[in-house]
Amino acid sequence: MMPQLSEIRYFVAAAENGSLRQAAEVIGVGQSTVSRRIMRLEDKLGVSLLERSNTGVRLTNAGQSYLQDVQLALQYLEQARRAAHAAGRAEVGNVRIGVLTSLAGGCLRKLIIAYQREYPNVQIDIHDGGRDENIAALRGRELDIVFVPGDCEPRNFECVELWREPLHIALPKGHRLAERWTLEWSDVSGEKFITSRKAPGPEFHDCLVRRLAGLSIHVNIETRGVGFETLMNLVGLGQGLALTTAAWSNVNLPEVVLRPLAGKGNILSFNAIWLGENDNPALRCLVSTAHVLVGRVRRGNSDWLPPQFDVRASADEICAGVQRHDRSP
């Protein structure tokens, strides 16, 4: 029969204090309890650990050997307890994040910076991929959370809109519209737009098609097999215009200018999506950090209050929260 941890602790206390009575006082139990537990431990081991006398106790040879080993084992157990406690409080650990937008600026960058400042010992793994790819990785537990533009996932996920970014048109510096501070959709009628097959190109392509569907505006759209940053450089080479958001204004693109689209509806929502059953403490702390960043309050595990955002938000982004969308079956 395996010794119980309490029996081992009573033995260590008696050995370190040289007295059953003093061990009982340190532990806070009766001396008879300490005596019985140590005798039970000796019976399980089949050896005598202590020599008892009227003046106290002293270790036998077997007791000395056993004490060294169990003291080391207790130290390991304490280290394991502290590590588990730290992981449970997200003092250590890791969180895997799927993104498909620029980290050069915008709310996502601010969120990562704020989280790193609050939890410096948590490793952040960033995965750059498309919406479908990231959602599949989330479902397969390869990612903890993804930040995507557009609509929330319909089922089996926790999903909340965290912020909105104004839509911008990327133009080459010498373009006729580059001198304007803001643009209307009608301004780009007849223009050529280029989009990327790689993330976040498909999201911007779909957004462009949806925005123009209800307007009597025609544009030419060409899809290129390049990454989005290369696409933006193609804009600078005069190969077409591109739809993007304010976050890309922080990327160094010397031959490109970004101009916001006028109108309240020309924004793109960004959502955080994660599995509700994911109990990673680092994930929960990241979600809480996002709430604080956008000025929203969380109650319980999934109850989200309506928006509480700063109307003085900067011109290049709107970190506005809205009510949580829970579409689990």
Domain closes at, from 35, 53, 88: 88
Average pLDDT (197-223) is: 89
Residues 277 and 152 in one domain: yes
| Structure-model confidence comparison of residues 198 and 300, the more confident one | 198
* Range from 98-102, 121-125, 294-298 carrying the lowest mean pLDDT: 294-298
Q: Under a CB-based contact definition with an 8 Å cutoff, are residues 57 and 20 in contact?
A: yes
Residues 238 and 254 in one domain: yes
Q: How far apart are CA 326 and CA 148, in angstroms?
A: 16
Residues 138 and 113 in one domain: yes
The domain tally of the chain equals 3
DSSP notation for 235-280: HHTTS-BEEEEGGGGGS--TTEEEEEBPSTT-EEEEEEEE-TT---
Residues 176 and 246 in one domain: yes
Residues 192 and 147 in one domain: no
Q: How far apart are CA 76 and CA 314, in angstroms?
A: 51
The pLDDT, as a whole number, for residue 87 is 65
Domain of residue 63, CATH code? 1.10.10.10
Domain closes at, from 88, 122, 145: 88
Say yes or no to pLDDT of 279 above 50: yes
Residues 158 and 202 in one domain: no
pTM of the model: 0.62
Domain of residue 242, CATH code? 3.40.190.10
Domain closes at, from 66, 88, 110: 88
Residues 15 and 28 in one domain: yes
Give the residue numbers spanning the domain of 280: 93-163+267-326
